């Protein structure tokens, strides 16, 4: 029996993400009226902003008409237009809640939000029952559905009208049992730039995740005109863009400037159009080079950008483009170090070859190991942290490049006093090649990322571990 009046209220179910909604229904002698879908109010009450794109109606003539149990590759919001239904939901997603069952009766005053991967079934409790559902993807005959048998004793649904007296399709009667189906993986995650230092770290961070795919430039070129058709994008939930033109000095040359703008701005713009069109979460890597380095305190996420060189200008422009995508994470980082050529490995090589280097001592920041950055990316995605920009570097004290070089020497068992500090001007003053201006301070404030529950490890301690591991590898 439909209840009139009341207030909009959400009740969570034992199935993660599945919620039942009490809807205010206003009735009089003429009938009733309700706001079946009201984005602003429902989001304020806790409904995800799932961006529906299609509205469907199911009309059922007979009492006991039963449909399901089907899990579609989209979210849906189901409500009753007339009559009553018994709803049953089974979590078919991979994870600890796989197989969890929830049932509830729905009428015009109650609705349900069903997340992607949760199987749903409905049995009509009155003739001439109609229910409507909003979905956030267009129907596609290529979409993959996972179904489970309505009569499966494992899930033991207590149907109000026994299935031997209910109206079922032959197809629904033939669905497999829970024990025979493969749990549904999350929407795919795509890592671009998978051959770089960060890409390799992301492979390790997601080694336990079969739904993550990797692509280097040979697989997907974000500057190519066919990016929109490079994948079946509706299957993806996250794109991690680890592809970038990062040679800061080369960006100051005529050809390098073109490449930097093409990759870091034009390509990023094309990627944001894909992410926006398919409601994909876009993860983008930014840089300390968007700042001029004159701040007397660590840079915060909201500080105005003021890049000194071409590379920093392209990264700042790319950040602005990505920020226009509703679902985005921009990770601003500094002094990235990982598996490949980098400053730390160069210093280690010099130490082992008995070369005493001159190293800049008037630029300060923190190292960011790619493993740290990869873990932070996964943390933000999986915890559903608020979208926006986050500073992510190693923790601990700020250091100069010369101080880091001395730590490398000491950790490798060499005399740190072999490193001589020099100014940036003296170090680059005699270079015949173009040199990008460097920010003198690259120290980033980490309070925002720490507020999400992720606390970066101490960069100095991580450096010692990195050097010792690299030394062991070089010895063999």
**What is the 8-class DSSP label of residue 190?**
E
Residues 390, 322 contacting (CB under 8 angstroms): no
Q: Is 70 a catalytic residue?
A: yes
Helix axes 401-411, 343-352, angle to 10 degrees: 50
Residues 392, 373 contacting (CB under 8 angstroms): yes
Catalytic member of 131, 133, 206, 466 = 133
The dihedral sign for the CA sequence 307, 308, 313, 314: negative
- CA nearest to 223, candidates 196, 252, 244: 244
Rounded distance, CA 428 to CA 252, Å? 14
**What is the 8-class DSSP label of residue 385?**
P
- Prior bond to 69 cis, omega within 30? yes
Catalytic member of 4, 70, 278, 327 = 70
First-to-final CA distance of the chain: 77
- CA nearest to 321, candidates 196, 222, 215: 222
**What is the 8-class DSSP label of residue 251?**
G
Rounded distance, CA 289 to CA 312, Å? 5
Residues 248, 309 contacting (CB under 8 angstroms): yes
Q: How far is CA 417 from CA 351, 358, 402, 405, in A?
A: 11, 11, 10, 10
Residue 336 is inside which H or E element, if any? strand 336-337
**CA-based angle 270:54:211, to the nearest 5?**
55
How many distinct helices (H) and strands (E) make up the chain?
A: 12, 25
The position carrying tokens 């920009």 is 389
Rounded distance, CA 245 to CA 271, Å? 15
- Catalytic residue numbers read 70, 133
């Amino acid at each position: 029996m439909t209840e009139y009046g009341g207030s909009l209220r959400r009740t969570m179910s034992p199935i993660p993400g599945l919620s039942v909604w009490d809807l205010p229904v206003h009735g009089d002698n003429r009938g009733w009226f309700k706001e079946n879908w009201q984005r602003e109010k429902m989001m304020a009450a806790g409904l995800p902003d799932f961006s529906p794109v299609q509205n469907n109606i199911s009309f059922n003539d007979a009492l006991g008409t039963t449909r399901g149990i089907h899990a579609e590759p989209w979210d849906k919001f189901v409500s009753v237009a007339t009559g009553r239904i018994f709803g049953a939901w089974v979590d078919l997603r991979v994870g600890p809640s796989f197989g969890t069952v929830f049932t509830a009766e729905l009428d015009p005053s109650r609705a349900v939000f069903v997340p992607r991967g949760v199987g749903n079934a409905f049995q009509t409790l009155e003739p001439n029952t109609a229910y409507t559902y909003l979905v956030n993807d267009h129907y596609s005959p290529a979409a993959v559905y996972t179904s489970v048998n309505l009569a499966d004793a494992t899930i033991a649904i207590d149907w109000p009208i026994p299935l031997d007296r209910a109206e079922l399709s032959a197809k629904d009667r033939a669905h497999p049992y829970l024990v025979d189906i493969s749990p549904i993986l999350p929407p795919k995650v795509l890592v671009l730039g998978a051959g770089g230092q960060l890409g390799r770290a992301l492979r390790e961070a997601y080694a336990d995740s079969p739904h993550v795919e990797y692509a280097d430039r040979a697989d997907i070129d974000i500057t190519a005109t066919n990016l929109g058709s490079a994948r079946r994008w509706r299957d993806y939930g996250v794109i991690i863009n680890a592809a970038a033109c990062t040679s800061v000095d080369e960006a100051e040359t005529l050809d390098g400037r073109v490449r930097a703008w093409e990759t870091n701005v034009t390509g990023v713009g094309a990627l944001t159009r894909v992410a926006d069109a398919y409601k994909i979460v876009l993860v983008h890597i930014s840089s300390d080079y968007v700042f001029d380095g004159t701040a007397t305190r660590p840079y915060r996420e909201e500080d105005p950008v003021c890049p000194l060189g071409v590379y920093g200008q392209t990264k700042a422009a790319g950040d602005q483009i990505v920020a226009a995508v509703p679902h985005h994470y921009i990770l601003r980082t500094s002094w990235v170090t990982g598996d490949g050529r980098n400053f730390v490995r160069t210093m280690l090589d010099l130490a082992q070859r008995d070369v005493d280097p001159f190293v800049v001592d008037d630029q300060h920041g923190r190292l960011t190991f790619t493993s740290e950055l990869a873990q932070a990316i996964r943390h933000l995605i999986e915890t559903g942290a608020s979208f926006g920009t986050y500073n992510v570097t190693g923790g601990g004290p700020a250091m100069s490049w010369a101080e880091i070089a001395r730590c490398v020497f000491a950790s490798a068992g060499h005399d740190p006093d072999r490193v001589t500090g020099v100014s940036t001007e003296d170090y680059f003053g005699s270079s015949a090649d173009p040199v990008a201006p460097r920010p003198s301070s690259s120290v980033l404030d980490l309070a925002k990322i720490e507020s999400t529950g992720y606390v970066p490890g101490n960069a100095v301690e991580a450096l010692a571990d990195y050097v010792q591991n690299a030394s062991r590898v070089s010895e063999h």
